[in-house]
Structure formats: C-alpha cells, structure tokens
A = this chain, B = another copy of it.
Amino acid sequence: MARRLQPTSAGVVFVIGGAEDKRGRSTVLRRFVELCGGRQARIALVPTASSRGQDVVDDYDVLFRRLGAAEVVALRPETRVAAEDPALAARLDDATGVFMTGGNQLKLSAVIGGTAFAAAIHAAHLRGAAVGGTSAGASFVTEHMVAFGTDGTTPKQRMSTLAAGLGLLPGVIVDQHFAQRNRYGRLLSLVAHSPSLLGIGLDEDTAAEVHGGHTLEVVGKGAVFVIDGSAAVTNAHEARRSAPLLVSGAVVHTLPAGSRFDLITRRLIDHEEVSRGTARRLVAEDD
C-alpha cells in the first residue's frame, strides 16, 4: 500500500491554536461541529498526543455532543503497530470529522505519521470530512510540522525544528499558542529557512478553517498570523550558532475573526472581493 499520499484538498482543514473555550459559547468548537455536519456529525476523536487518560476523551465527548454532534468515537493508537491495524483504520470509514487533541505533536508524527491510520484520515478528508485539531493536533495536520522550539520575538538560528506531519496543507507550517507563548521568532526563523512554506501562527481560542486547500477563514477570539517569506532577503543559510537572523522583507498578515485569506495568491480576500465573487456565482447560477 502506498503510504506516501498526494496532498489533498477535498475537505475542510480546521486548526485551532489551543486553549479553545469549552465552557462558554465554545465558538470555535461549535464551528468545527457545524463543519462536520452538525446534527449528522460523526466525529473521530484522536487523543494520541495527550498525556491525559480517559478524561481527555470524556471531556471532548461531552462537549461535541453538547454542541450537537450525533456521535463521537475515540480512536487512540499509542504505537505504530496499533496505527497499522486495518480494523482501527476502518473505524474512520464513516467519520464526517476527525479531531486530534493537544499534547505532544511529535507523538502524533512518531505514532501516526505514514501509517494505515494516517492514510484513512487522508481518505476521510478526500471524502469531504473535516480534519483538524487543537494545539499539537493542529500542528500535525500539515506536511511540514513544527516539532518544537524556543520562544521569543527575535528569530534566531537553531530556534526550532521541523518534522514530517500528516500531509494535508503541503505548503504551510502551523504554529499554535502563538501570541500567548510568543512564537513569532521561531515561526519567522522556520519561514526564513524554507520560504516556500507559508507560516501560520494561531492564537489561543482561535482557528483557521481552510477550504479547498487554499481559502483560509478565521474564527475565534484572537488573530491568525500569516508570515510570507517568499520575497525576503535572509542570511538563514549562513547564520551561526544561535545568532539573530537577518530576515528583511517578510510580509506579515494579522487576521482577526471573519478575515479571509488566499493561501495560493498569499493575499487577503477583502469583503468587496468576496461580495463580487458571490455576485458572480449567483449570476452564473441564474444562467
């Protein structure tokens, strides 16, 4: 079986910056349930990253049902052998959403990356299931995953490390707890090393939903940062030890709730353009 899948862009990708509201209006998680089909939602909960036991499962189970989901099924591979089990992977067959909890994203890449279970998540996504997660679960979704790093505003050499993620959103890196843990520097340093990748920084209780692999929309309390290093001048290939990096000309987008951004053109989609787009579609439908 070919485990190296082509990047897909069929369903919605929904990534949360961690610490999403679970007691109040739960705006972010409510939106995820809606994207999974609301009253028809069958959500596969993947708590593999978490160091918590059954209670992390119970918490999300109660939450997603309170927010209207029809069914929540916990699938928790803890080893690569478990993640290769066809019976476990088959339980994703009727999922309308896959949600990966926070914790340690390296456990997700180490246990799930490239397995039958990962392939089944890709297949669900191709079928139209919403795939996402919070914190570690958000970072793991992409092809290139932030593994770990140090905090701070100034980008420095050797500040952060990449690993191979699940493989959705191939041209993107997702970092989370962005403002709260001051991860601007590490995301900028990663983008300086790999300007082909667009850096996405998610504040806590804030989500980016990505439709069709390219239209990002922001939900929640904080902001989503997009760092575009494609035109930047940098010394990232020659900076020594932990020196501050030269990164001149990075383009940064700070996007609060309701903002829409095109990951392909790397530009804001403004309200006017959205309205015009809608108008054109309506005209086309009238034809």
The CA of A235 and the CA of B255, in the complex, are separated in Å by 10
B222 x A154 contact (CB < 8 A): yes
The CA of A256 and the CA of B268, in the complex, are separated in Å by 30
Interface locus among A83-91, A112-120, A180-188: A180-188
Given contacts A152-B179, A182-B153, A185-B179, whether A246 and B255 have CB atoms under 8 Å apart is: yes
A243-260 CB mask vs B (1 if < 8 Å, else 0) is 111111111111111010
Residues of A in contact (CB 8 Å), total: 39
A248 x B243 contact (CB < 8 A): no
A155 within 8 A of B: yes
The CA of A203 and the CA of B156, in the complex, are separated in Å by 13
Given contacts A254-B246, A255-B248, A261-B248, whether A233 and B268 have CB atoms under 8 Å apart is: yes
A270 within 8 A of B: yes
A223 within 8 A of B: yes
A178 within 8 A of B: yes
The CA of A273 and the CA of B246, in the complex, are separated in Å by 16
A164-198 CB mask vs B (1 if < 8 Å, else 0) is 00000000000000110011110010000000000
B residues less than 8 Å from A259 (CB atoms): 246, 248
B247 x A253 contact (CB < 8 A): yes
Interface hub of A184, A221, A248, A251 (most chain B Cβ within 10 A): A248
Interface hub of A152, A188, A245, A247 (most chain B Cβ within 10 A): A247
B residues less than 8 Å from A239 (CB atoms): 256
B residues less than 8 Å from A154 (CB atoms): 178-179, 203, 222-223, 225, 254
The CA of A268 and the CA of B234, in the complex, are separated in Å by 10
Given contacts A153-B178, A182-B153, A185-B179, whether A256 and B270 have CB atoms under 8 Å apart is: no
15 A-B contact pairs sorted by A residue (CB < 8 Å): A154-B179, A154-B225, A184-B184, A188-B252, A221-B244, A223-B245, A244-B256, A247-B252, A248-B253, A248-B267, A249-B252, A250-B251, A250-B253, A250-B254, A251-B251
Residues of chain A at the chain B interface (Cβ within 8 Å): 152-155, 178-179, 182-185, 188, 203, 221-223, 225, 233, 235, 239, 243-257, 259, 261, 267-268, 270
